[in-house]
């Protein structure tokens, strides 16, 4: 993660100084490579191995802090945009990224990497697969359906994050207030994650997967259907953030809750590849769909419907050995 942070800062600077579209896109490829090593998936793998049975508590703590990113940086970026060009904003953010994340990763990630567990105790939501080969798990129906379901949901969740601002401005909300609404959605993420451990204690994997995807679908539909007033739109943004918050933890625990932690890194890498691609393409795809469907409200309704379908299919994402 330290190496990825070292790559990220100059990559963002390259984006800021890009003289042509080709240079801009090439620089963003470097940014994407850095993101693969600095965002949640590698951190989830590390915490799952380090904390084992207590992983949900550790993952929740991480995502509680991470959930405040939009709360801090959406309004900050909007403020910077009022005073700087977009290139200047990128330079400021690149400097902040380098100053904070490089030393944090370099000095903060020094725990000894433990050996994989030889045996994991039975759990009411987790079959004991022992040394089951990850390749066999990756070919199983449950894994393939889980990957498809979470990819669809990730597409919706991340399309909503970025396209929420143009949706709100189309409803008459000022750009600054729309950015603050996005930031408040970050607080919603934190609120949702605070309750995740209790949800785990009182629900099965199947039940909470369906419930969380249904919540993401409902909040997306809500944003697409309500025309106002502004207070109601902001409340919808907060609720969407709450659903997004618990969805992140659902992703983080999807593998370990079904197949244990022994092969978590490899299986979560396979699961994360399409979901990360969906997250990367969702913002631009959402904007393209707005042109195709006649506006952002129609996009949000369509995304909500797709996620509702994913919630229904999620009933088949648990291993048959259960």
**What tokens were used for 24?**
């801009």
Using a 10 angstrom Cβ sphere, with 0-12 exposed, 13-18 middle and 19 or more buried, the burial of residue 149 is: buried
**Model-level pTM?**
0.75
HSE of 139, CA atoms in CB hemisphere, 13 A: 4
Q: What is the DSSP letter of 58?
A: H
Q: Which CATH class is domain 134-316?
A: mainly alpha
Go through 30-49 and write b for each residue having 16 or more CB atoms within 10 A of its CB, e for each that does not.
bbeebbbbbbbbbbbbbbbb
Tell me the C-alpha distance between 174 and 172, whole Å. 6
Q: Residue 122 has what pLDDT? A: 44
Range list of H helices, the chain: 2-16, 21-38, 40-51, 55-66, 69-83, 86-108, 134-138, 141-170, 175-194, 196-201, 205-225, 230-259, 264-293, 296-313
The pLDDT of 3-25, averaged and rounded, is 90
Share of the chain above pLDDT 90, in %: 17
Q: What is the dihedral of CA 143, 161, 297, 28, to 10 degrees?
A: -90
Q: Where are the domains of the chain?
A: 2-58+71-108, 134-316
The pLDDT tens digits of the residues spanning 76-111 come to 888 888 888 889 998 998 998 899 889 888 887 777
């Amino acid at each position: 993660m330290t190496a990825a942070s070292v790559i990220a800062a100059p990559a963002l600077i390259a984006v800021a100084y890009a003289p042509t579209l080709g240079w801009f896109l090439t620089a963003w490829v470097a940014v994407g490579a850095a993101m693969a090593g600095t965002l949640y998936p590698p951190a989830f793998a590390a915490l799952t191995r380090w904390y084992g049975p207590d992983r949900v508590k550790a993952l929740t703590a991480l995502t509680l802090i991470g959930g405040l990113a939009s709360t801090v940086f959406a309004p900050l970026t909007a403020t910077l945009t009022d005073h700087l060009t977009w290139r200047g904003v990128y330079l400021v953010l690149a400097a902040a990224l380098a100053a904070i994340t490089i030393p944090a990763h370099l000095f903060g990630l020094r725990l000894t990497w433990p050996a994989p567990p030889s045996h994991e105790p039975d759990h009411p939501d987790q079959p004991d697969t022992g040394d089951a080969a990850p390749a066999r798990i990756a070919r199983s129906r449950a894994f393939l359906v889980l990957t498809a379901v979470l990819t669809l949901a990730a597409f919706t969740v991340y399309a909503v994050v970025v396209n929420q601002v143009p949706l709100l401005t189309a409803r008459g909300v000022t750009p600054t207030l729309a950015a603050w609404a996005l930031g408040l959605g970050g607080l919603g993420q934190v609120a949702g994650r605070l309750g995740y451990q209790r949800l785990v204690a009182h629900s099965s994997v199947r039940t909470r997967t369906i419930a969380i995807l249904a919540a993401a679908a409902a909040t997306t539909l809500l944003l697409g259907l309500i025309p106002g007033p502004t207070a109601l739109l902001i409340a919808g943004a907060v609720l969407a953030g709450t659903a997004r918050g618990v969805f992140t933890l659902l992703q983080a625990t999807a593998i370990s809750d079904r197949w244990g932690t022994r092969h978590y890194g490899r299986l979560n890498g396979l699961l994360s590849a399409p979901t990360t691609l969906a997250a990367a393409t969702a913002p631009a795809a959402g904007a393209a769909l707005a042109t195709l469907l006649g506006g952002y409200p129609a996009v949000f309704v369509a995304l909500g419907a797709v996620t509702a379908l994913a919630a229904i299919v999620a009933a088949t994402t648990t291993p048959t050995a259960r």
